[in-house]
Amino acid sequence: MMIRKMIVVTILVAGLLIAGLSQASDAIIETRYLIVSDATGKLSNDQLKLQADQAQVMVERLLAFWAADPGIDRWGKIRVVFDETRREVYSSVFYWEQKDGGRIRIVRVFKSVCVDSAVTNGYWLFWQRNHTSP
């Protein structure tokens, strides 16, 4: 029983390490409010730049509409990670992560060709307007 638990834990840790390494090797595009990367490795630098520019425009529109502060001084730029779909479900997920003693905001987009799904779920941008911490 103990050996099975160790095997399961080892597989989970290996999976997390591999996922982290693959994301670290991807191209990164930085805009005024975003740090955009492609976890799939399928987008060319030009395609990733186009996606990053589109996301930046949408973020600026949302910030203007909600008269919201991007929160860069407090939390840094928002990280947008384009990833493979899961079971053909196209979506985006916002979450907070601890890094270097602080909190960072991440939006994972499960479909690399669809910036709008991440940005139209704009709650992750203006949510901070009414909350001091998650």
Residue 63 CB neighbours (<10 A)? 18
With beta carbons less than 8 A apart as the criterion, state whether 9 and 53 touch: no
At 33, give phi and psi (nearest 5°). Answer: -115, -10
Please report which confidence band the pLDDT of residue 91 belongs to, taking 50, 70 and 90 as the band edges.
confident
With beta carbons less than 8 A apart as the criterion, state whether 79 and 24 touch: no
Residue ranges of domains in the chain, CATH in brackets: 27-130 (3.30.2010)
pTM: 0.64
Q: Determine the pLDDT at residue 53.
A: 93
